[in-house]
């Protein structure tokens, strides 16, 4: 009897434990589902707000226009249909706000009940017109043709050179500048952090006395513990003005500032992981090198560092991963300009910073909102790939050292 | 009280690796049987069959029967917890729990549902006496078990095993981590315990097997090469492999 | 008491039992010789089988002790000494048997005068005393007592040396008793060897207790 | 002879040079840390006062205190740990003590690692779509706590696993050999031994939770909310978000700088405290073990 109760309790607790163990997997799964459900929603859609559309005169032979050209047309950078492969005819822009320029209030009616007819007349009469109108006015009898727009594809999303999700009528959803921004900031961070971090790791693992190491180690942990928003704040009040002064820039909020802050933030990751890797070098190996007459430095750079190289690689990659995903500090110091930077001393905008900055203003369920989720998908894929790669390195490493 | 132990055609596989190959042998009550052989020969694996400690290892497959008093311990429905209470075990490294000396010995009783304070106290004292440790620790039962020396810790582990009154005692190289003095104390203890228990001991130390055991089994590459009285094995072994091993001419 | 000690004690006890038996055998031959008791002589011959069996048992136990107990230092010397003492005792047993054999084959009782002049009884006394003393020395690990043996052995030697000329005289006087005289001579020779065995045992005891090798050295025999 | 002497000297010089660089770089790292700490502590200390810690923000967050943010962060920490700690510890127990080495175990491990690698902003997005929108919690303490909890879950799992792994198998075997069941072994032997390290991990995750901003941006954090919450479905202010807001987009960034320094100092103080506590605990327990 007692034993059967024992066994029952045993089974129950095991099930509870099992359920807990599935939480992480479930979370990852849910994250994937939620991110990609929203994020993939932007693809194969017109880059236009729902309920709106762009129409042209029936006789306009133009077949297809990419969304970048639409923006240029509405920004009046393109003024002739010829430029986008149509007839030689100047482009007449029409937005709903402009309706007053063409019709009087009486024509439109007290309750604007005549708007559809007015619009029809307008579009029909001007051959070079391009009109951005609510799609509710567009029906069978409407004497115009919807301008077929290139749908948003994965390719255009990745390669698009402009990020302007709130552009009217066609949102510009090009991740390229953000991607470049993210990479340039992260790469810069790792260029700063790797030499510093590796040197510190070597110093701690091989050169410093045990006492000094016992002081350094908690300091590094402390560095890791400081919240990113504090780093961001520090960057904002110290590093940004400093860079502005030193390089005589109009603004200090630059990719470089982001790199410096991220570099400092990546230091603990790099130091801890490389130090652990360096410490795994078997004592016998070090002693063998020393016994052959090598001095400490030769032993370090010929035996210990090569032995720990895969661990150090993992540290560097994880450092990059951290930097790529970091949000707040970058958001606060990089200036957030969504343009492709040419030098380090220009403002940039990274993917996580974009999400953080824009999500608050993006209407729920809209194209912009979904585009931000698509950004998160990219971020997720990048960090996932980095994690898998690091896991692969360390598992291979474990195998070969066995 | 003690039982006859026998194994019939026992095979054990770790995944694809055939670790024990058709082992059959029989052990008499109130004797010490030693298992010797080079590392990886299967002697420890064999020992751990008797309290089903191998169950804790992944991907183990076992065939054959292991009878303790005529009952196959690998039969379906055997209560492993009950089996382990009957078959005590002492490990290679002393492994007292990070508790007091008293609590270490009381542990086995408590997990087996004993709550009576006086009973536990009596049993603790008795086990410590049996393990020849009482005199050394009676004034510090409330101290941590880690304060004891290695040899004392191992005797504490033996006392811990004895407290739940097993009938069989498995010892997996019980003295290999100890200094010679502690080792000889453990060996003396084995001689004493033999009167009340059936003891199976794995040892890599042939002299130890010779000193403490009544019967000796020599394992090699998962095979039981030779099994006989310790006297016979150490004075005129039948198998040339046994001879080479015990004379140190192995390999 | 530790296990090893127990086992070694058993070995010691066995050896001492054999020892007692050998002394008895020797005593019985003396009695048989004096009283010309052929039954007693045959009893000695029969008992020799027991001595031999005991020797084999002790040999076997020593082998086991080496194989199973891993004796070292004093314990090792002890087992080694037992092994040799065992051998010496067995030889002593053989000597008793040899004497008993010619007693049982003799046709007439031995002449009292012959026994008198050859000092056989004195020799018996010395050799048996030696065996007894050395047994005490063995039991109590008394090397001082063991060392007194060597002086006694010299007395036996002296009797042995004199026996030749005495017997030559005797044979020339009583040629008809030549056979008897030769038998006595061989008994004397045998008893002289008992002295040697006892001396060897004494050496073994000193070896095992003090770890000193006295064999083949004249020096130090009388020390202590 | 002189040649080898020369090589020896060059060898030595090279070492001196390399070590010099390592020392310099390490010193730089320490200097950076101290500079950040000193900068924020010195500037922040001027602002810290009883009123600052216990008062409500006033005049467009340029005056007054940060009490609601402190309370908010405290509630978020408690809330997330209430979720993370049991789930994380139980999960680690299951994978480490119950699971045999199989593809499934490796899969779970991989998932845990992946969860750890996901950027915090992604957690924010996820938390917003699941807790705030789908489950309808709205911007609330519970949504924020759960999001933060998910974020720290891998940390708790990993430290617990490490703690469990560091316990020698011989203790478990010793317990089984005495007829203890698995549950008894875990409860009476494994967990008590792992406890110090698990607690240390827990404390460190407090530090992490209290400093995270991105996950709470869209799940709980209020820009300006000078009152205390009444239920777990209320929004709260939180220290890190507050710092972000007043240093970048407050009504008057320049005027609220002192408040920002003060907030940063409070955040750093929490981190320092957590680290000191964790280290002290670690040292206390390791000393205790050594004494034993």
User: A122-131, B225-234, D129-138: which has the minimum mean pLDDT?
Assistant: A122-131
> Structure tokens of D273?
């405290």
The alpha carbon of residue A324 and the mean position of all alpha carbons in its chain are separated, in whole angstroms, by: 8
- Asked if residue A166 belongs to a domain, the reply is no
DSSP secondary structure letter of residue C208: H
Interchain pair D211, A227: CB under 8 A? yes
- Buried-state track A357-370, b at ≥16 Cβ within 10 A, e below 16: bbbeebeeeebbbb
Verify A-D touch: 3 or more CB pairs within 8 A.
Answer: yes
CB contact under 8 A, B81 and A3: yes
Query: How many angstroms separate the CA atoms of D151 and C209, rounded?
Result: 78
Residues spanned by the domain of B55: 5-246
Mean pLDDT check: name the lowest of B170-174, C144-148, D89-93, D228-232: D228-232
Q: Does a structural domain hold residue B251?
A: no
Q: Which residues contact A285 (CB under 8 A, 6 or more apart)?
A: A303, A304, A307
3-class DSSP assignment, residue C204: helix
Q: Is residue D268 within 8 Å of D37, Cβ to Cβ?
A: yes
- Which other chains touch chain D, taking contact as 3+ CB pairs less than 8 Å apart? A, B
Interhelix angle for D169-177 vs B150-163, to 10°?
Answer: 30
Q: Tell me how far apart the alpha carbons of residues B97 and B145 are, in angstroms, rounded to a whole number.
A: 7
Alpha helix (H) ranges present in A167-227?
Answer: 176-202, 210-225
List the chains bordering chain C where 3 or more Cβ pairs fall under 8 Å: B
What whole-number distance in Å separates Cα of residue B232 and Cα of residue A374?
80
Contact A204, A272 (CB under 8 A): no
Q: Is A62 in the same domain as A25?
A: no
Nearest CA among A309, A310, A286 for reference residue A298: A286
Q: Is the distance from CB of D91 to CB of A26 less than 8 angstroms?
A: no
- Tell me, yes or no, whether A10 and A67 share the same domain: no
Q: Do A35 and D182 touch (CB under 8 A)?
A: no
How far apart (Å, rounded) are the C-alpha atoms in residues A333 and A257? 6
In a domain, A160, yes or no: no
Closest Cβ–Cβ partner in A21, A199, A237 for D26: A199
Per-residue pLDDT in tens (0 to 9) along chain B, 251 residues:
445 899 999 999 988 899 999 999 999 999 999 999 998 888 999 999 998 888 777 788 899 999 998 889 888 888 888 888 889 999 988 889 888 999 999 998 988 888 889 999 999 999 999 888 999 999 999 998 988 998 899 999 999 999 988 999 999 999 888 888 888 888 999 998 999 999 999 998 888 999 999 999 999 999 999 999 999 999 989 999 999 998 888 75
Contact D279 A218 (CB under 8 A): yes
In a domain, residue B208? The reply is yes
Residue at which a domain ends, from A87, A120, A152: A152
Stated pTM of the model: 0.80
Task: Report the alpha-carbon distance of residue D107 to residue B57 in Å, rounded.
Answer: 20
Range among B225-234, D45-54, D233-242 rated most confident: B225-234
Tell me if A118 sits within 8 A of A103, measured CB to CB. Answer: yes
Cβ contact B98–D289 (<8 Å):
yes
Determine the distance in angstroms separating the CA of B60 from the nearest CA of chain C, rounded to an integer. 36
List Cα–Cα distances, D158 to A24, D153, D197, in angstroms: 12, 8, 11
Give domain status of residue B14, yes or no: yes
What is the per-residue pLDDT for D266?
93
Only one residue has tokens 């909890």, namely: D149
Residues A90 and A10 in one domain: no
- B114-127 core/surface letters (b: 16 or more CB in 10 A; e: else): eeeeeebeebbbbb
CATH, domain range D50-291:
1.10.3720.10
Measure C83 CA to nearest chain B CA, in Å: 16
Query: Is residue A70's pLDDT more than 60?
Result: yes
Euclidean distance between CA atoms C30 and A142, whole angstroms: 152
CB contact under 8 A, B211 and C63: no
Does position D251 have pLDDT exceeding 80, yes or no? no
- Encoded tokens for A121: 């007349």
Q: Which residues make Cβ contacts (< 8 Å) with residue A83, sequence separation at least 6?
A: none
Nearest CA in chain D to B84: D179
pLDDT of residue C140: 92
Using one digit for the tens of pLDDT, what is the confidence trace for D174-221?
999 998 888 999 999 999 999 888 988 888 888 888 988 889 988 888
Q: Which of C107-116, D40-49, D132-141 is least confident? A: C107-116
The predicted structure's pLDDT at residue D30: 93
The CATH code of the domain that includes B32 is: 3.40.50.300
Residue ranges per structural domain of chain D: 50-291
Per-residue three-class SS string for chain B: CCCCEEEEEEEEEECCEEEEEEEEEEECCCCEEEEECCCCCCHHHHHCCCCCHHHHCCCEEEEEEEEECCEECCCCCCCHHHHHHHEEEECCCCCCCCCEHHHHHHHHHHHCCCCCHHHHHHHHHHHHHHCCCHHHHCCCCCCEHHHCCHHHHHHHHHHHHHHCCCCEEEEECCCCCCCHHHHHHHHHHHHHHCCCCEEEEECCCHHHHHHHCCEEEEEECCEEEEEEEHHHHHHCCCCHHHHHHHCCCCC
**Is B88 within 8 Å of D189 when comparing Cβ atoms?**
no
CATH number, domain at A250?
1.10.3720.10
C63 neighbourhood in chain B, CB within 8 Å:
235
Query: What are the residues facing A348 on neighbouring strands?
Result: A335
- B16 is a domain residue: yes
Check whether residue A231 and residue A380 sit in a common domain: yes
Question: Do the domain assignments include residue A162?
Answer: no
Name all chains with 3 or more CB-CB pairs below 8 Å to chain B.
A, C, D
Residues of chain B with Cβ-Cβ distance to D188 below 8 Å are 107, 110-111
Inter-chain CB pairs, B–C, below 8 Å: 24
A13 contacts in chain D (CB < 8 Å): 183
Choose from A5, A10, A23, A365 for mutation: most chain D CBs within 10 A: A23
CB contact under 8 A, B97 and D178: no
Burial of B247 (0-12, 13-18, 19+ CB in 10 A): exposed
Query: CB distance from D254 to chain B under 8 Å?
Result: no
Q: Which residue has the higher pLDDT, A114 or B130?
A: B130
Chain B CB contacts of C2 under 8 Å are: 184, 188
Q: How many residues does chain A have?
A: 402
Q: Specify whether the backbone of D179 is left (phi greater than 0), alpha (psi in -120 to 50) or beta.
A: left
A16 with A107, same domain: the answer is no
Say whether both A36 and A62 belong to one domain: no
Sort D30 into a burial class: Cβ within 10 Å, 0-12 / 13-18 / 19+. Answer: middle
pLDDT band at D82 (very low <50, low <70, confident <90, very high): very high
Kindly list the residues from chain B whose CB atom is less than 8 angstroms away from the CB atom of residue C64: 231, 235
Smallest CA–CA distance, residue D168 to chain B, in Å, is 9
A295 in D contact zone (CB under 8 Å): yes
Residues on chain D touching B82 (C-beta within 8 angstroms): 179
Partners of residue B188 in chain C, C-beta under 8 Å: 2-3
Domain count, chain B: 1
Based on the fold, state whether residues A97 and A197 are members of the same structural domain.
Answer: no
Contact yes or no for C3 and B234 at CB 8 A: no
> Smallest Cβ distance to B160: which of D178, D188, D292?
D178
**pLDDT grade for D250, boundaries at 50, 70 and 90:** low
φ, ψ for residue B199, nearest 5 deg: -115, 130
CA distance D119 to A186: 14
Q: Is residue A148 part of a domain?
A: yes
Sole residue written with tokens 């007819």: A117
Of D119, D154, D240, the CB nearest to A24: D154
| Record: contact A267-D243, CB cut-off 8 A | no
Domain boundary among A114, A136, A152: A152
The two most distant CA atoms of chain B are separated, in Å, by: 56
**Tens of pLDDT, residues A188-228:** 999 999 999 999 999 999 888 889 998 898 889 888 889 99
CA distance D279 to D287: 12
pLDDT band at C217 (very low <50, low <70, confident <90, very high): low
Q: Subunits touching A (CB < 8 Å, at least 3 pairs)?
A: B, D
Q: Minimal Cα–Cα distance from B9 to chain C, Å?
A: 30
Q: Which of D97, D106, D177, D181 is best to mutate for the B interface (most B CBs within 10 A)?
A: D177
Read off the tokens for A181.
């921004």
Residue A131, SS3 per DSSP: strand
Domain boundary among A86, A119, A152: A152
Dihedral sign for Cα atoms in the order A334, A335, A341, A345: negative
SS3 A339: coil
Q: For chain C, list the domains and their CATH numbers.
A: 2-222 (1.20.58.220)
How far apart are alpha carbons D38 and A122 in whole angstroms? Answer: 68
Query: B32-36 and B198-202 as β-strands: parallel, antiparallel, unpaired?
Result: parallel
Cβ–Cβ < 8 Å for D109, A387: no
DSSP A163: E
Range of the domain at A36: 1-40
First to last CA, chain D: 56
What does the longest C-alpha to C-alpha distance in chain A come to? 101
List of chain B residues whose C-beta atoms are within 8 Å of the C-beta of residue A6:
81
The per-residue pLDDT for range C29-78, each reduced to its tens digit, is 999 988 888 899 999 999 999 999 999 999 999 999 998 888 888 899 99
Same-domain check for residues A128 and A11: no
Contact B187 C3 (CB under 8 A): yes
Name every residue whose Cβ is closer than 8 Å to that of residue C94 and which is 6 or more positions away in sequence. Answer: C48
Tokens of A102: 């063409």
Compute how many other C-beta atoms are within 10 angstroms of the C-beta atom of residue C117: 16
Cα–Cα distance list, A168 to A44, A138, A244, A312, D98 (Å): 19, 18, 34, 48, 58
Higher pLDDT, C223 or D71: D71
In a domain, A373, yes or no: yes
């Amino acid at each position: 009897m007692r034993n059967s109760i024992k066994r029952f309790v045993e089974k129950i607790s095991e099930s509870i434990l099992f359920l807990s163990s599935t939480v992480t997997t479930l979370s990852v799964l849910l994250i994937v589902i939620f991110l990609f459900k929203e994020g993939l929603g932007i693809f194969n859609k017109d880059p236009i707000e729902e309920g709106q559309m762009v129409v042209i005169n029936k006789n306009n032979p133009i077949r297809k226009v990419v969304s970048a050209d639409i923006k240029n047309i509405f920004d009046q950078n393109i003024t002739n249909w010829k430029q986008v492969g149509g007839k030689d005819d100047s482009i007449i822009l029409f937005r709903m706000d402009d309706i007053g320029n063409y019709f009087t209030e009486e024509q439109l009616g007290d309750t604007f009940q005549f708007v559809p007819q007015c619009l029809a007349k307008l579009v029909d009469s001007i051959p070079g017109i391009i009109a951005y109108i609510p799609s509710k006015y567009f029906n069978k009898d409407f004497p115009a043709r919807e301008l077929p727009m290139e749908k948003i594809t994965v390719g255009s999303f990745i390669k698009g050179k402009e990020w302007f999700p709130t552009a009217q009528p066609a949102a510009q959803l090009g991740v390229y500048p953000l991607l470049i921004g993210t990479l340039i900031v992260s790469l810069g961070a790792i260029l700063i952090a790797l030499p510093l971090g590796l040197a510190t790791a070597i110093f701690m693992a091989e050169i410093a006395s045990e006492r000094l190491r016992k002081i350094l180690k908690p300091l590094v942990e402390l560095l890791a513990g400081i919240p990113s928003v504090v780093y961001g704040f520090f960057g904002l009040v110290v590093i940004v003005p400093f860079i502005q002064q030193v390089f005589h820039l109009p603004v200090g909020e630059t990719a470089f500032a982001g790199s410096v802050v991220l570099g400092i933030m990546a230091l603990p990751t790099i130091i801890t992981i490389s130090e652990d890797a360096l410490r795994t070098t078997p004592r016998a190996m070090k002693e063998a090198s020393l016994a052959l007459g090598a001095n400490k430095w030769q032993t370090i750079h010929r035996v210990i560092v090569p032995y720990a190289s895969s661990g150090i690689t993992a540290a560097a990659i994880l450092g990059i991963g951290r930097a790529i995903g970091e949000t707040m500090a970058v958001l606060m110091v990089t200036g957030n300009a969504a343009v492709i930077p040419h030098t380090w001393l220009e403002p940039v905008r990274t993917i996580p910073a974009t999400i953080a900055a824009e999500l608050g203003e993006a209407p729920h369920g809209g194209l912009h909102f979904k585009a931000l989720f698509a950004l998160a998908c990219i971020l997720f894929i990048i960090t996932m790939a980095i994690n898998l790669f690091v896991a692969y390195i360390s598992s291979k490493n474990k195998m070969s050292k066995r | 009280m003690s039982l006859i132990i026998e194994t019939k055609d026992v095979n054990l596989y770790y995944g694809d690796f055939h670790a024990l190959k058709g082992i059959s042998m029989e052990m008499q009550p109130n004797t010490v049987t030693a298992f010797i052989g080079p590392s990886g020969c299967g002697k420890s694996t064999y020992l751990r069959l008797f309290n089903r400690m191998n169950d804790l290892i992944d991907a183990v497959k076992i065939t054959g029967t292991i009878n303790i008093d005529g009952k196959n311990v690998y039969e379906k429905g055997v209560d492993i917890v009950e089996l382990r209470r009957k078959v005590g075990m002492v490990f290679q490294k002393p492994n007292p729990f990070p508790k007091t000396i008293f609590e270490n010995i009381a542990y086995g009783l408590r997990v087996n549902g004993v709550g009576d304070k006086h009973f536990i106290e009596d049993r603790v004292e008795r086990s410590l006496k049996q393990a020849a440790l009482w005199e050394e620790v009676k004034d510090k039962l409330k101290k941590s078990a880690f304060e004891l020396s290695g040899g004392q810790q191992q005797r504490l582990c033996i006392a811990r095993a004895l407290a739940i009154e097993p009938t069989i005692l498995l010892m997996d190289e019980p003295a290999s981590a100890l200094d010679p003095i502690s080792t000889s104390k453990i060996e003396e203890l084995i001689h004493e315990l033999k009167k009340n228990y059936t003891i199976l001991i794995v040892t890599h130390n042939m002299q130890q097997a010779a000193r403490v055991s009544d019967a000796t089994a020599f394992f090699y590459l998962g095979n039981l090469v030779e099994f006989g009285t310790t006297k016979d094995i150490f004075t005129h072994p039948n198998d040339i492999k046994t001879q080479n091993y015990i004379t140190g001419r192995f390999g | 008491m530790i296990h090893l000690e127990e086992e070694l004690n058993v070995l010691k006890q066995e050896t001492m039992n054999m020892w007692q038996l050998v002394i008895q055998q020797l005593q019985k031959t003396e009695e048989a010789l004096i009283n010309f008791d052929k039954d007693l002589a045959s009893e000695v011959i029969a008992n020799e089988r027991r001595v031999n069996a005991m020797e084999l048992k002790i040999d076997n136990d020593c082998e086991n002790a080496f194989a199973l107990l891993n004796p070292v230092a004093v314990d090792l010397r002890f087992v080694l000494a037992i092994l040799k003492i065992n051998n010496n005792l067995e030889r002593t047993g053989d000597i008793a048997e040899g004497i008993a054999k010619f007693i049982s084959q003799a046709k007439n009782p031995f002449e009292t005068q012959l026994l008198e002049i050859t000092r056989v009884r004195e020799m018996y006394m010395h050799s048996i005393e030696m065996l007894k003393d050395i047994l005490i020395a063995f039991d109590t690990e008394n090397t001082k007592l063991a060392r007194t043996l060597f002086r006694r052995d010299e007395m036996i030697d002296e009797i042995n040396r004199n026996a030749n000329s005495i017997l030559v005289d005797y044979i020339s006087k009583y040629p008809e008793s030549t056979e008897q005289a030769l038998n006595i001579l061989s008994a004397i020779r045998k008893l002289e060897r008992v002295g040697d065995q006892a001396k060897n045992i004494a050496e073994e005891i000193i070896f095992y207790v003090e770890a000193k090798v006295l064999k083949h050295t004249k020096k130090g025999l009388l020390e202590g | 002879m002189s040649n080898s002497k020369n090589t020896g000297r060059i060898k030595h010089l090279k070492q001196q040079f390399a070590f010099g660089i390592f020392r310099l770089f390490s010193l730089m790292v320490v200097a950076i840390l101290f500079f950040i700490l000193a900068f924020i502590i010195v500037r922040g200390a001027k602002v810290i006062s009883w009123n600052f810690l216990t008062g409500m923000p006033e005049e467009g967050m340029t005056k007054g205190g940060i009490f609601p943010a402190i309370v908010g962060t405290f509630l978020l920490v408690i809330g997330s740990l209430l979720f993370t700690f049991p789930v994380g510890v139980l999960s680690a127990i299951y994978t480490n003590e119950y699971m045999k080495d199989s593809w499934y175990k490796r899969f779970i491990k991989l998932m845990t690692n992946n969860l750890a690698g996901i950027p915090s902003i992604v957690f924010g997005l996820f938390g917003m779509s699941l807790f705030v929108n789908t489950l309808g919690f709205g911007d609330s303490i519970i949504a924020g706590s759960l999001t933060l909890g998910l974020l720290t879950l891998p940390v708790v799992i990993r430290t617990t696993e490490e703690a469990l792994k560091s316990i020698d198998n011989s203790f478990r075997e010793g317990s089984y050999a005495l007829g203890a069941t698995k549950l008894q072994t875990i409860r009476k032997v494994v967990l008590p031994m792992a406890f110090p390290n698990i607690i240390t991990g827990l404390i460190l995750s407090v530090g992490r939770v209290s400093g995270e901003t991105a996950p709470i941006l869209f799940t709980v954090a209020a820009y300006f909310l000078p009152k205390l919450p009444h239920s777990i479905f209320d929004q709260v202010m939180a220290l890190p978000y507050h710092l972000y807001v007043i240093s970048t987009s407050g009504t008057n960034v320049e005027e609220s700088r002192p408040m920002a320094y003060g907030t940063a100092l409070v955040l750093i103080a929490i981190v320092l405290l957590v680290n000191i506590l964790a280290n002290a605990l670690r040292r206390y327990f390791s000393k205790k073990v050594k004494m034993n």
